[in-house]
Structure 1
Amino acid sequence: MNFISFQNPAALFFLPLAALPLVIHLLRHNKARVVPFPSIILLRSTHTKTWKRSRLQEWLLLLVRTLILLLLVLLMAGPSVKASLPSWMAPRETTLALVIDNSASMSTIEGDSSLLPQARSSALKLIKSLSPDSRVAVLCGSQGNKILCGLADPAEAARQIRSIEQTDLGTDLAGAVLKADALLANAGRTGASIMIFSDLRKNCFGDAVSPLPALKSTAHLNLVQAGKGGAGKNLEWRNVKFYSLKKRLIIQGKTAPGLEQSLSLVKDGRVAFQSKIKPDSGGYFSGGMGWDGQGQTFMECSRDDMPLDDRYYFPQNTAGNTMVLLISEAGGILQQAFKALSGAGYQLKIESHPTPEAIAASDLIIVAGGAIAGIKSDLLEAVKNGAGLLIIPPERAVVNDYNSLLSNISPDLRITGMSEDSLPGALDLGTKEYFQDISSRDLRHISIYKYWRVPARPSALLTIGRKFPGLVMIDHGSGKAGIWLFGTEPGMTDIGFHPAFLALLNQACEGLLKSADPGYLTGQFLSGADISDLTAPDGKKISGLPDSRGKIKWPLEKAGFYSTLKNKSGQTLAVNIPPEESDLALLEDDELAGIMGKNKWSRQISSEKRPASQRGLNNIFLFLTGLFLMLELVLRSKLKIFLKKPLTT
């Protein structure tokens, strides 16, 4: 704990000025005047006595002037001390930064109210106990960490605390602490306190991969628990998947053990399906229900301790019509596959030499022809504008044509030749999280006879022989491109005769489509040159915010369905609360210790324990400065009177 601190530490650089009187004294040389005089025998004792008295007064004057300059520099620095002093001498000053958590998890009901009003009440109780000379900053603990006021008087801080409203945003206490630290450090308030009023749930400081850095303000962190601190009974949407081929939803989640829940699928304002679920002893459950993927649809559970996350909103574009252009001399296995996938919304068109208009009108373009010269620029333009591109070079592909296309998508990606393996290769998953419900066991009977070689890439989604890339995805402009390196023809592979082929092809295509976006989370921003308008779930228009590059971003702060104009056509967006907000488990002290790092902190049940106050020393230093100025005046006048006296007896 710092015993003394300064509001303006930079002023201490002027401390060397206190030595100025000494420097002037040493540089001043008064040569004695030669005056004709008869005899000094009678004056010798008087001269010695007066000379000693003169030197003493000069050194006292030097000391007083040095102290005056020293006190003036310290007054500029604004000193304060943590000590018990009379209020008339040093008024009590408390410097605080209050972080009020208003994230979605603070909507948890405990008793007669949610946790946010309880946190506000605790903060206001603390504000009432502060003196008018105190300075308080107020920040929000939700994403964005809005600063409601800087270091203001307690009355203004109380007004801002009362204005804090519940949000649907995620928690970001780490960001709030760093912002508060910057406020205190920039104001020169070292050794102050940061009070955090939060539910202190598991994810309130984010992933907490690394501890908080050492605070520049050396502030003490006081964590005040909102509510009684018990884990609430709340349903968590852990994993919700829609299978477009099966027209079925699979829901996996967690709730309080033994707590039965009712799940309802609400489509366009009407309950389309309802199911009862009963979790196991650990609180986990899973269930399924049919859905066609159309309409404004959300899943809703029965009321629990956190009503704000009771709904899970589904993107409306999950199963829309997707215009697929297959560029090939013959449809073959790919044509049969997309015919089987028509239930997932694919509408296939086959052309060997497509026009630029046909390419531009497609959502997904599959290049599987032998020669593709003449359409490279049209393909690149389509991908740049947001279309998906899947490149499947056939066995008789013109490699130069394909390499010319690939070089414009990724400079380090090129076909080096055909494989020469004597035995068939095995297909395996590269990134296991990409493909839903497909395991390596589902691919174990697929044989790869020939495949195109490209430089090794660690991000391959499918691999051949667990070594060579089989499927690679690349972002390009507003769209995505993928290269499928083992073809679909019987001469290259037998994948077309295995049930896993349809699932692999469908999910690879979904990954290339922008419409495959699973939705947004509150706290994210919507951006894009083709977006011109955004309306929130409550019907209010949202104003766009320019970023550092001048591009407009729209904040998504409420959960629900948003409507937007995209390319002058209407589109509905689904926005959900961050899933980690639904986990109401509390942080343990050892976990908090790891997050806090080397910073000083304490965990409190209430805000009754006031943070340490600073006593400003300005009054004391002003008094001493005035006193020494008067003393300097007296000494200077006495010295002048003394010097005017004749040296006679």
Structure 2
Amino acid sequence: MFQLSFLHTSLLIFAAATVLPLLIWLIAKRKPPRVVFSSLRFIRLSAQEEKKRSKLQEILLLIIRMLIILLFTLAVARPQVFSSRLKQSGKHPPTALAIVVDNSFGMDYLHEAKTALDRSKEALEKINALTNSTDKVIILTLDESWNTLHGQSYAGKIPGDIINSIAITHLPLSMEAAMDKAHTKLVESGIPNRELYLITDKREAQYPADFPLPVHLIPLAAPQSWQNLSIKDVTPLPQLVDKTRQQSLQFTLANHGDAQRADVLIRAVLGETKVAEKFVSIPARQEIKETILIELRQDGWQTGYVEVVDERLMHDNRSYFAFPHRLNPSLAVITQDASLPFYLQGALDVYRGGGKLKLIAPDALVMADLEEYQNFVIYKPGPIGPRLKEFIESLRHQKRGAVVFLDENMGKDLASWWSSMFDCQIGGFMRDAKELSYFNPHHYVSSLLGGTELSQKRVSHYWSCQASGSVALAKAGKDDLVLAKDNMILFALDPAAMQNSFFIDPIFPVLAYRALEHSGLALAGGNRIELGELITAQELTLPDGSVLQLANRSYRASKPGIYHSRIANGEATAIAVDYHYQESENNPQDYQKLKYIKSLKADWQKQLFRSRLGYDIWKTLFLVALALFLLEIGIIKLASLKAGKSPKELT
């Protein structure tokens, strides 16, 4: 196979200048002057011999000049020659070499005492041994921060400390983005020979459909079978009655391998202390839900993780949790009444246990109450005043809320205020009984009631509401009975209506309990986000203990673990950040669909530096053109010496 290509093909148009010497010779050809002699016999013989020599010399000079122009034009166009018949040698032309290293957490899978990332670093060292000082080597990973610091062009070799600094990234770029960046840097190198290599475990990833360069895949030793366990979605199970410090945590355990795993050790860590262990068994290719019981030591935020002991791939072995727990929470009811209705009093007593319960008039509210009480209930506050408005806004600013109960004699101004607060329309008061028709299975407050049989369950004495920008949690026909707007919960029922059978049913205490949890300091089911999501706070403590002053700006969670955020004048909130689990499964990439990717063989070192453009020969062409130029001068000089004329007269 022979291939000739040019780096600057547009310059080949100047090859047409090759014919200029021929045109000049034809146009400028002069007739010799006519001279009269008495005898022409000897002159004719001499002229014929001279004419033959002169014509041969002119043709030779013409060819040389045309070749000089042609070779110079070709050299400027930067021709590249590739041939499979050319004898291979240890030398190679100057090459820009880009290497994209996959450092997503799947590359940390342990096989024969080495991870895939360890083998990637060994491959980089082997490439280093083959490069020379004329090469430019570019190394990129899937870690955007690492690329910003180290993703530059290195002359000859990659420094050893740069290779050793490559670590697993928890928030990887797509393979497409990394390859596009590599191609851009190859173009910027200015070297015509450009080669792109991938080092990856060949797991499924986002690749471009097409690519302007051939991409070569460097092979890594791979396990014959994939054995991995992962754990995710740790959630505290609700305690509806007899609240204690014994807390059950539910989690999902997944077996991504082809073999059953028996006696798998599960550990629960609270803070930095191991508090529980258990053994479980799990079939191949299955997910199971399990629980583990832990002992909570104190009120407040409970943070930690549940982990499965599996040494193959460590990064998906933990799932973090963060949830508030108060054995005896203190409650404040904002009301003008001196006592509470029976059903409301009972629901609040179940929730608070031995905690404090205080009735506070709206005019007596102070900001110190925000620190003293964990939960707030609003019932019959009277005309809405500026102090109550300011207090509610302060609650919402702290990412907290309140549980609101409407009363039958509510005024129009208060109804209008609640309509605006909950983004809903409050209509008339309904005294007739109506069957319950729906509980929202997707919201924390009503999720336990999502599958409840609702036949014969009726409700009366409620305000007809229609949710617009809020979430309906319970419905009776077209009327929304319970609504949620952020951490604010609205019960459109009057708990003073003793004839309302809804308050006798166990549904009401469950809804009230979960509503109080949800409206407290944070989500009672736990604060959890995924890597890459934003956290907005005044101050943020990262999992490594470092503190960032954000001034209510946003920070993108880049590592798994527990984050502690604090807003202005608010209590700290704990947030659990978990991994993306797509790397837990071993789904191989189908490279046959990607025609531009070529898998190298086991002796891949011998296949490096075989660029698609081949060997650069522009220097050779320049040298040949220079040699022809010197030859032309020599011919002219020699002819002038023989004829006794100056070179200028001959040319």
> How high is the TM-score relative to the length of structure 1?
0.71
Aligned to 2:622: 625
1:372 and 2:379 matched: no
Which residue of the partner structure matches residue 75 of structure 2?
Answer: 71
1:258-269 counterparts in 2 under 5 A?
258-267=261-270
Query: 1:378-415 deviations in whole A, cap 9, x for unaligned?
Result: 533542343335555545444555545665x68xx342
Within a 5 Å distance, the mapping from 1:496-535 to structure 2 comes to 496-512=503-519, 515-516=522-523, 518-519=526-527, 523-524=531-532, 527-531=535-539, 534=541
Q: Is the 8 A contact 2:324 2:521 kept in 1?
A: no
Partner of 2:252: 252
Determine the structure 2 residue equivalent to 1:484: 490
Q: 1:57 to 1:504 in 2, by over 3 A?
A: farther
Question: What residue ranges of structure 2 are gaps of 5+ in the alignment?
Answer: 37-42, 641-645
- After superposition, the Cα gap between the structure-2 partners of 1:144 and 1:466, relative to the gap in structure 1 and judged at 3 Å, is farther
Assess if the C-alpha contact under 8 Å between 1:96 and 1:192 holds in 2. yes
Match of 2:401 in 1: 388
> For the residues of structure 2 that align with 1:178 and 1:334, how far apart are their CA atoms?
62
Instruction: Trace 1:12-411 onto structure 2 (pairs within 5 A).
Output: 61=65, 64-65=68-69, 67-74=71-78, 85=86, 91-92=92-93, 95-130=96-131, 133-141=134-142, 146=147, 148-153=150-155, 155-156=157-158, 159-165=161-167, 173=175, 175-184=177-186, 186-187=188-189, 192-198=195-201, 200=202, 205=205, 212-214=207-209, 216-220=211-215, 222=217, 224-225=219-220, 227-237=222-232, 239-245=234-240, 247-255=247-255, 257-267=260-270, 271-279=274-282, 282=286, 284=288, 286-292=290-296, 294=298, 297-302=304-309, 304-315=311-322, 317-319=324-326, 325-330=332-337, 331-332=340-341, 333-342=343-352, 350-353=360-363, 355=365, 357=367, 361=371, 366-369=377-380, 371-374=383-386, 375-389=388-402, 393-403=406-416, 407=420
Q: Which one is further off, 503-512 or 17-26?
A: 17-26
The total of aligned residue pairs comes to 613
The answer on whether the counterparts of 1:169 and 1:522 sit within 8 Å (CA) in structure 2 is: no
CA–CA separation in structure 1 for the residues paired with 2:361 and 2:23: 99
Give the drift of 1:531: 0.4
Q: Map 1:404-483 to 2 at 5 A.
A: 407=420, 413-415=423-425, 417-418=427-428, 424=434, 426-430=436-440, 432=442, 434=444, 438-442=448-452, 444-445=454-455, 446-449=457-460, 450-454=462-466, 456=468, 460-462=471-473, 464=475, 473-474=484-485, 480-482=486-488
- Letter paired with 2:493: G
Structure-1 separation of matches of 2:416 and 2:249 = 41
Distance 1:103 1:620, change over 3 A: closer
CA–CA distance in 1 between the matches of 2:598 and 2:491?
Answer: 56
CA contact (8 A) 1:89 1:620 kept: no
Say if 2:331 and 2:352, in contact at 8 Å, map to a contact too: no
The structure-2 alpha-carbon separation of the partners of 1:145 and 1:621, relative to structure 1 and needing over 3 Å to count, comes to same
The question of whether the paired residues in 1 share the 8 Å contact of 2:170 and 2:558 is answered with: no
Cα deviations by residue, 1:326-368 (Å, 9 ceiling, x for unpaired): 4444543444323322259896654444536267556655555
Bigger shift: residues 568-577 or 224-233: 568-577
Q: Which amino acid aligns with 1:193?
A: L
Instruction: Indicate the larger mover: 17-26 or 217-226.
Output: 17-26
Match of 1:208 in 2: none
Q: Go from structure 1 to structure 2 and tell me whether the alpha carbon gap of 1:634 and 1:274 turns closer, same or farther (over 3 Å shift).
A: closer
What is the percentage of aligned positions where both structures have the same residue? 16
Amino acid at match of 2:620: F
**SS of aligned partner of 1:515:** coil
Query: RMSD across aligned C-alpha pairs, in angstroms?
Result: 5.5
Specify which structure has the bigger relative contact order, considering alpha-carbon pairs within 8 angstroms and separated by 6 or more residues.
1
The secondary structure found in structure 2 opposite 1:338 is: helix
Which range is displaced more, 345-354 or 436-445? 345-354
The alpha-carbon deviation at position 621 of structure 1 amounts to 0.7
Q: Indicate the structure (1 or 2) with the bigger Cα radius of gyration.
A: 2
Conserved 8 A contact 2:261-2:281:
yes
Partner of 1:624: helix, strand, or coil?
helix
Task: Report SS of the residue matched to 2:262.
Answer: coil
CA distance in 2, matches of 1:481, 1:90: 69
SS of corresponding position for 1:441: coil
TM-superposed deviation, 1:260: 1.1
Output the CA distance in 2 between the equivalents of 1:426 and 1:632: 101
Q: Deviations over 1:615-647 (max 9, x none)?
A: 776751122023224535766898998996599
Provide structure 1 residue ranges, at least 5 long, that are not aligned to the other structure. 206-210, 475-479
User: Given that residues 394 and 489 in structure 1 are in contact (C-alpha distance below 8 angstroms), is that contact kept between their aligned partners in structure 2?
Assistant: yes
SS at match of 2:451: helix
Say whether the 8 Å CA contact 2:487–2:518 is kept in structure 1.
no
